[in-house]
Amino acid sequence: MRKEMAVAVVVLAGLLLAAGGAVYGAPGDLVFERKTEDQQGSESFPPSIFPHWVHRIQYRCYACHPKPFVMQKGANTISMETIKKGQFCGECHNGKIAFGPDFQNCTRCHTVPEE
Cβ–Cβ < 8 Å for 101, 81? no
Q: What is the pTM of this model?
A: 0.68
The pLDDT of residue 99 is: 97
Taking only the tens place, the pLDDT of each residue in 80-90 is 999 999 999 99
Residue 57 sits at the vertex; the CA angle it makes with 65 and 104, to the nearest 5 degrees, is 85
In this prediction, residue 62 has a pLDDT band, given cuts at 50, 70 and 90, of very high
pLDDT of 112 reads 78
Report the pLDDT value the prediction gives residue 44, as an integer from 0 to 100: 72
What the chain holds in terms of domains, given with CATH numbers, is 2-109 (3.90.10.10)
